[in-house]
Amino acid sequence: MRKTILLAAVCGLFLPLLKVSAQDKIDFGKQIYPFIKSGCVQCHRPEHENPERPGRKIKPKGGYVMTNAESLLAAATEDGVKFIAPGKPDDSRILQVVKLPLEDDHHYPPEGKAPQWTDAEKELFAKWVAEGANFGEWKEDPDPLTLPTWDGKEKEPGTTETAP
Ligand code: HEC
């Protein structure tokens, strides 16, 4: 009898914890990739045909592709700074560049070219990197050349863009 009570008490204590941590886990494909796609992919997608000049290719800017997990994890600057350093948001170049002042040459996306990440998005990205940069089921954007349309307006500061 006592054992049963103890077991019930232990379950009562730990089950809710498990539930909370499962809910808190960030889903890369649903919660992070949408603002990489809208903010970065226009310039950082695989090499493709230039629709305005047939026969000519458009290369990813700087050679950096941000449409699949493998390239995102492999990408590093010439100085060896990783785009994503799992567990270390401050050492992750992606987060460094989005946080630089708008007028800095290394700030991305360049002002007016794509929607800026909101503070909530920067925070979410930092949390995802801190948690180990787990891509979960997500391997790649199935349609990396199709971009979301942008009306030129920035998002509300506290919001994050998410996939349905
Ligand atoms: C309008 C085009 C454009 C967009 C949009 C864009 N970039 Fe870039 N990005 C560039 C270009 C051009 C370079 C290469 C500069 C060079 O080779 O010196 C670059 C290089 C980079 C670099 C490496 C250079 C450095 O300073 O560390 C990082 C990191 C980067 N981009 C991240 C991003 C992120 C993150 C986003 C989205 C939030 C983004 N970029 C959106 C054009 C863009």
Using a 6 Å cutoff on CB, does residue 37 contact ligand 1?
no
Q: What is the pLDDT of residues 51-107, one digit of tens each?
A: 999 999 999 999 999 999 999 999 999 999 999 999 999 999 999 999 999 999 999
Given a cut of 80, whether residue 15 has pLDDT beyond it is no
| Domain assignments of the chain as residue spans, ordered by start | 26-130
Q: Tell me the C-alpha distance between 30 and 86, whole Å.
A: 19
Say if residues 71 and 92 touch (Cβ distance below 8 Å). Answer: no
- Measure CA 25 to chain center: 14
For residue 36, report the distance from its CA to the centre of ligand 1, in Å.
Answer: 12
For residue 122, report the distance from its CA to the centre of ligand 1, in Å.
Answer: 16
Kindly report the CA angle at 56 between 50 and 58, in degrees rounded to 5? 55
Residues 78, 85, 119, 31, Cα dihedral to 10°:
120
Say if residues 56 and 49 touch (Cβ distance below 8 Å). Answer: yes
